[in-house]
Structure 1
Amino acid sequence: MKDLELWTLEGPSLLTARADSQFSIAALMPPSGSIVAARLDGRKLVEAHDAFEQFSYALTFPAYFGWNWDALSDCLRDLSWHPADHYLIIVDHTESMLAGNAEEREILLSILSRAAREWADPLGKPDGKGVPFKVLLLCDDEPTEALHAETAMR
C-alpha cells in the first residue's frame, strides 16, 4: 500500500491485506488533520448484535443508537460526536466476521461502503471537501478471492 493511497477520496474505501502485512506509519496516518480510528476483532463479530455492540463500543455511539442495521448505517454516516478530517476502521480476523451468515456480512460491507461514499461526497461538508473514510480488512491468511470480490463490488 502506497503512503497516500489510504487517504485519497478516489480508489477503494474497503481495503484488504494480510494481518502480518507491514505498513509504514506514514501509510496509516493521514498527511494532516485529525483522525478517528477504531479497531475491531472479526472473531467478536459473529452475529449481527455482536457487530452492533462492537461498533457502538469502538466508536462510542450515542445512547439513541437503535441496535439494528439501519441505525448502524445512520451512525457511521453521522459521527458528529467524533468530528475528524479522516476516519479509519480496522477489522482484524476479517475471515471470521459474520462468517456464518453471508447475507449479514454483505449488509455490513454495504453499510461500510455506503458510509465511505457519503463521507467522500463534498456536498454539505465543511469547506466543500469530502472526508476520507477507509476500512482496512485484515485477514490471517492471504485475503481470499471471495473477500476481494466482496469488497471490489463496492
Structure 2
Amino acid sequence: MSNWWNDSTDQVTVCSRSAHVELAAVLPAAGRFVVARLDGTRMTDADHAFYEFSDALLFPGYFGWNWNALSECLRDLSWLAADGYLIVVENAPRLLPDSAEDRRTLFQVLAHAVQHRVSPFGQPRFKVLLVCDRDDEAALLRAEVADAVRRAR
C-alpha cells in the first residue's frame, strides 16, 4: 500500500486489520484531505447509515435521508472543501446486516461517488476503505462489493 491513493484502481477497497494500513500510505503527500471514520456496527439499517454519513461528513440541512440524497451529497461535498476525501468504514461486514439489498445499494452509491470525483487528469479525489476484522471477512466482503459495483454499471 505504498502509494494506494494514486495506484489503486478499486472503486471501493476492502482490507483486513492485519493489513496494518497507515494513514500516510493511504493519502497523497500533499493537499487538504477530509478523513471520515464510520463504524459499520452503528449502521444497522438504512436510516442509521444515513445518519452516520450525515454526521461524519456534516451533510447540509437539505439532505433528504434516502439513497438518492446520499449519492448526491457524496458527489457534491462542496461544504467540505478539500483536495480529496477518504471514508474509512470500520467493522464493514457488520453494516446493514438485515438487508442485502441496502448493502448492495450502499456499495453502488460509494462506487459511483468514487467514479464521479475523479479529477480531469485521472487522479482520484475520493476513496473508500472498508475495514474487516479478519482476512476471510475481507475476502467475502470484497466479492460482495465487486458484485455490487458490477451491477451498478
Considering the TM-score relative to the shorter chain, is it more than 0.5? yes
Residue 97 of structure 1 is matched in structure 2 by 95
Partner of 1:149: 143
| Contact in 1 for aligned 2:14/2:138 (Cα 8 Å) | no
Q: Which residue of 1 aligns with 2:126?
A: 133
Which residues of 2 match residues 77-92 of structure 1 at below 5 A?
77-92=75-90
Q: Pick from 60, 70, 73 the counterpart of residue 72 of structure 1.
A: 70
Q: Where does residue 22 of structure 2 map in the other structure? A: 24
| Amino acid in structure 2 at the alignment position of 1:117 | Q
Deviation at 1:8, TM superposition (A): 1.6
CA contact (8 A) 1:9 1:131 kept: no
Give the equivalent residue in structure 2 for 1:125.
none
2:141 maps to amino acid: L
The offset of 1:99, in angstroms, is 1.5
Closer, same or farther in 2 for the Cα pair 1:52/1:107, shift >3 Å? same
Cα distance between partner residues in 1 of 2:29 and 2:35:
15
TM-score by length of 2: 0.88
Amino acid at match of 1:149: A
The letter for the 2-side match of 1:77 is R
Q: Please state whether the residue corresponding to 2:14 is helix, strand or coil.
A: strand
**Identity percentage of aligned residues:** 41
How far does residue 93 in structure 1 lie from its aligned partner after superposition?
0.5
* Residue-by-residue CA offset, 1:36-90 (whole Å, 9 max, x unaligned): 1100000001100000000000000000000111000000000000111111000
60, 68, 91: which one pairs with 2:58? Answer: 60
Amino acid across the alignment from 1:137: L
Residue 145 of structure 1: how far off its partner (Å): 3.5
AA aligned opposite 1:97: L
Given that 2:15 and 2:130 are in contact with CA atoms closer than 8 Å, whether structure 1 keeps it comes out as: yes
More helix by share: 2
Farther off after superposition, 26-35 or 112-121: 26-35
Q: Which is worse superposed, 18-27 or 28-37? A: 18-27
Q: Is the 8 A contact 1:9 1:130 kept in 2?
A: no
What is the TM-score with the length of structure 1 in the denominator? 0.87
Calculate the aligned-residue CA RMSD, in Å: 1.8
- Residue of structure 1 in register with 2:3 after alignment: 4
Alignment-mate amino acid for residue 116 of structure 2: E
Partner of 2:37: 39
Q: Write the deviation string for residues 90-146 of structure 1: whole angstroms up to 9, x where unpaired.
A: 001111001211000000000000000000152xxxxx6654211110011223433
Instruction: Return closer, same or farther for 1:117/1:9 CA change in 2, 3 Å cut-off.
Output: farther
3-state SS in 2 of match to 1:148: helix
Structure 1 unaligned segments of length 5 or more: list them. Answer: 123-127
